[in-house]
Amino acid sequence: MQEARVTLKQVAVRAGVHVSTAWRALKNDTYVEPAKRARIRTLATEMGYAPDPMLTALSNYRRKQAPVAFQSTLAWINNFPSREEGRTLINIAGYHEGARRFATQMGFKLEEFWLAEPGMSPKRAREVLLARGIRGLVFPPQPLSGTELTLDIEAFAAVAIGYSLASPRLHVVAAHQHNASLHALRELARLGHVRIGMVAATETLRRANHSFESPYHFFQAAVEEKHRVPLFALPGRDEPRNVAAAREPFLAWFRRHRPTAIVCHVGEVRGWLEAAGCAVPADVSLATLSRVFDVTWSGIDQQEAEIGRRALELLVSLFQSGERGAPATPLRLLVEGRWIAGDTTRRIGPPAEELLARLS
Rounded to an integer, the average pLDDT of 123-134 is 95
Least confidently predicted of 30-44, 246-260, 310-324: 30-44
Q: Would you list the domain boundaries of the chain? A: 8-65, 72-169+305-336, 177-302+339-359
pLDDT of 37: 85
For 256-285, the pLDDT digits (tens) are 999 999 999 899 999 999 999 999 999 999
Residue 218, SS3?
helix
What distance in Å separates the CA atoms of residue 223 and residue 196, rounded to the nearest whole number? Answer: 10
pLDDT, residue 1, reads 44
CB neighbours of residue 293 within 10 Å? 17
* Cβ(285)–Cβ(191) below 8 Å: yes
Whether the ω angle into residue 215 lies within 30 degrees of 0, i.e. cis, is: no
For residue 66, the model assigns a pLDDT of 47
Task: Provide the pLDDT for residue 67.
Answer: 46
The correct answer on CATH 3.40.50.920 for the domain covering 177-302+339-359 is no
How many residues make up the chain in this entry? 360
Mean pLDDT of 144-157: 95
Phi and psi (nearest 5°) for 41? -65, -40
| Predicted confidence (pLDDT) at residue 185 exceeds the cutoff of 90 | yes
Helices 247-257 and 268-275: crossing angle, nearest 10°? 70
Assign 68 a pLDDT band (cuts: 50, 70, 90): very low
pLDDT tens per residue, range 77-92: 999 999 999 999 999 9
CATH of 72-169+305-336, one of 3.40.190.290, 3.60.150.10, 3.40.50.2300, 3.30.360.10: 3.40.50.2300
Lowest mean pLDDT among 42-46, 62-66, 301-305: 62-66
Average pLDDT, the chain: 91
Task: Please indicate whether the domains covering 72-169+305-336 and 177-302+339-359 agree at the CATH topology level.
Answer: yes
SS3 labels along 155-196 = CCEEEEECCCEEECCCEEEEECHHHHHHHHHHHHHHCCCCCE
8-65: CATH topology is 434 Repressor (Amino-terminal Domain) (1.10.260)
